[in-house]
Structure 1
């Protein structure tokens, strides 16, 4: 959402085996959850792991692509588990971050007889793309999984929240952060961790001292909803410090909302340059702040207007709506995550007798049903969540954190039945599969989509996957404060 464009424009499952500190660790990536090109998932030959295997089409170029993460820079064994029931070799080109090596995958005697082929490569710490491509007309073997071995994993922390905050502030001093929604989302999340631990107020105050003047001004004209997410951290700091400037800074946003342009039916447009456009992302930037500040009526009204325009009959919500062109074409995972979090956060402030409460509860139930329906077996959700079988689709960390948070909060508020906690906890475990600690002792949260505008299918699938992007760090902290500190 960071790209401001007035336009409508691989998947994987990680099973981290429990390993003591300083011993060799292995990470298994099931092929059926990877990105496929000219191949199908099947389960008709016994002996596979996970939920199936990939049967390559019998053509040159059929492929399976994995997105992986390694905790340490060193040599790693890439172990491919496969079956080849023919009598001929089915060689494949194994491409690691663009560097190809041809590997033989000889006959295993039967399609139910599984073997392994190992390729040793040097990998840096971080995310890697590993692609196995058939080089003959017979296609590749049946591919069950990829295991990355010899990765030494540091002990996992007891408190992921403090580990992530400590790691981040070690490289990002408070004065380096600005007023962008990603920075203020992270700061608001840090405040929640501080509220529990009492550890981070000096960091937050250093940011406030650098960004907020005595009269509450920040130099920001608040001409887009993203910029108004700062209101949450202003309220946090007003509560924590008692300083008047933060109350004044929050009031400036409320005053701007009173004059801010709207659609013909009263929806706050995403950006003053985008006449008539409502983006699902935008509700989180403003509505929880308004509800916290006492304007529950406006917050609930906006959620209702947005939901009416964005609801998707196939499940969840479309990313955006324009009064001129209608709904945008796709359901994008993080946009739906922003909307879910906004709704449960607003609901915390809505009296039980408020006339809008029932509608907000129905919004949450609609979203939760979609979250449950489209959750991947890994616990994560796809970048395009209602298209899980789409070639090139991939599992995304920030929206998965948001969905897990939303469901857990909704159960806590008794909007959803306790049975939904299984979905939230599975999502939480899935997100933790993307979290690691490097040899420097710092955390890495992988698989986060970078800032994203509104686009078409190909646009969302091309978005870069980053490690420690603030979209994911803030969402991870919100989720971990909700789910990571013991049973709910």
Structure 2
């Protein structure tokens, strides 16, 4: 059995929340496994909340994560389910006065993660205008010196550290959105490159990154390298990054691949379910596969 198949098998064996279901479907789509995309989409639609959020498990409190399943719903022909998810994002989901979405129901927090959860789906669903609104709103609140803080909150209770995973969600989300809607390139590609370059400046000699990019006291984490690899490889292939970024992406993937064990588990990623310690996660499994697919000629 190939390493890729072991990573995929381990991903499919994991319990998944809504965003994990979505990113798993993204990986399967990019690998050409449309059969699995249809199955993952059907499960997300089965668990669609009354308000339109896809893939909700046990009264999930996240306002935006279900939108990560929207791409699969579109591809699998669940047009009505995708429309309901889009309507939730466009008009019903909680947001700040300028339209920037809050990440969690009942809170005023803006998270870097949201960029990946909603921006590619908005692009795929024919609303690149809303995709730009979300990137710009998150950029204003979270981006400083081209690195993203994890969480902004109006009451000051956010998380200011430059979390590698949060920055990974941003650059990967923009890369995937531009793939769906190339017209977004002028508005978003330059920003994605600036963030990616700032992240790469924090790279360790072993090719990986600290969990908080600029804090060497935090643990060495695997998934950020995979997320940056995906963005670098995708941007190079789609022409909004120079071709040299493909070499960077492959090198990042090589470094992360050393953390894949015999069972196909990507080790020392931000570990589920709390993502504050070295462990394993469905998103790390999926991003390994996304980077592998992006590295193909």
TM-score by length of 1: 0.54
Q: Is the Cα contact below 8 Å between 1:188 and 1:236 reproduced in 2?
A: no
Q: Is the Cα contact below 8 Å between 2:185 and 2:240 reproduced in 1?
A: no
Instruction: Quote the residue 1:379 is aligned against.
Output: 207
**1:433 and 2:258 matched:** yes
Q: Is the Cα contact below 8 Å between 2:40 and 2:72 reproduced in 1?
A: no
The alignment partner of 2:204 has SS state of coil
Cα drift, residue 349 of structure 1: 3.7
Instruction: Quote the residue 2:4 is aligned against.
Output: 161
**1:228 and 2:67 matched:** yes
Instruction: Quote the residue 2:191 is aligned against.
Output: 363
Judging by fraction of residues, say which structure has more helix: 2
**1:400 and 2:238 matched:** no
Matches of 2:133 and 2:23, distance apart in 1: 23
- Over residues 320-371 of structure 1, what are the superposed CA-to-partner deviations in whole Å (9 max), with x where a residue is unaligned? 212332863201010110011111111224454xxx6434122112112113
Judging by fraction of residues, say which structure has more strand: 1
Question: Of 266, 284, 291, which aligns to 1:445?
Answer: 266
**1:266 and 2:87 matched:** no
Q: Is the Cα contact below 8 Å between 1:309 and 1:327 reproduced in 2?
A: no
Instruction: Quote the residue 1:184 is aligned against.
Output: 22
Q: Is the Cα contact below 8 Å between 1:372 and 1:423 reproduced in 2?
A: no
Matches of 2:181 and 2:25, distance apart in 1: 25
Instruction: Quote the residue 1:14 is aligned against.
Output: none
Q: Is the Cα contact below 8 Å between 2:234 and 2:294 reproduced in 1?
A: yes
Matches of 2:153 and 2:192, distance apart in 1: 23
Instruction: Quote the residue 2:56 is aligned against.
Output: none
Q: Is the Cα contact below 8 Å between 2:25 and 2:41 reproduced in 1?
A: no
Cα-Cα RMSD: 2.5
Q: Is the Cα contact below 8 Å between 1:337 and 1:403 reproduced in 2?
A: yes
**Shift in CA distance, 351/273, structure 1 to aligned 2, threshold 3 Å:** same
Instruction: Quote the residue 1:113 is aligned against.
Output: none
**Structure 2 unaligned regions, length at least 5:** 54-61
**1:471 and 2:267 matched:** no
Cα drift, residue 480 of structure 1: 1.0
Question: Of 149, 156, 159, which aligns to 1:325?
Answer: 156
- Over residues 276-315 of structure 1, what are the superposed CA-to-partner deviations in whole Å (9 max), with x where a residue is unaligned? x2100011111101100111100112111111221122x4
Deviates more, 1:407-416 or 1:332-341: 407-416
**Shift in CA distance, 220/473, structure 1 to aligned 2, threshold 3 Å:** farther
Cα drift, residue 167 of structure 1: 4.5
- Over residues 172-212 of structure 1, what are the superposed CA-to-partner deviations in whole Å (9 max), with x where a residue is unaligned? 5xxxx66521133213312322x2xx5x61x5544555553
The alignment partner of 2:265 has SS state of strand
Instruction: Quote the residue 1:423 is aligned against.
Output: 248
Q: How does 1:186-265 map to 2 (within 5 A)?
A: 186-193=24-31, 195=32, 201=35, 203-210=36-43, 212=45, 218-219=48-49, 221=51, 222=53, 224-238=63-77, 246-257=78-89, 258-265=91-98
**Shift in CA distance, 423/351, structure 1 to aligned 2, threshold 3 Å:** closer
Larger radius of gyration: 1
**Shift in CA distance, 364/212, structure 1 to aligned 2, threshold 3 Å:** closer
Matches of 2:97 and 2:42, distance apart in 1: 39
The alignment partner of 1:443 has SS state of coil
Matches of 1:211 and 1:326, distance apart in 2: 32
**Structure 1 unaligned regions, length at least 5:** 1-155, 239-245, 454-459
The alignment partner of 2:228 has SS state of helix
TM-score by length of 2: 0.86
**Shift in CA distance, 274/477, structure 1 to aligned 2, threshold 3 Å:** same
Q: Is the Cα contact below 8 Å between 1:179 and 1:230 reproduced in 2?
A: no
Q: Is the Cα contact below 8 Å between 2:112 and 2:169 reproduced in 1?
A: yes
Cα drift, residue 399 of structure 1: 1.4
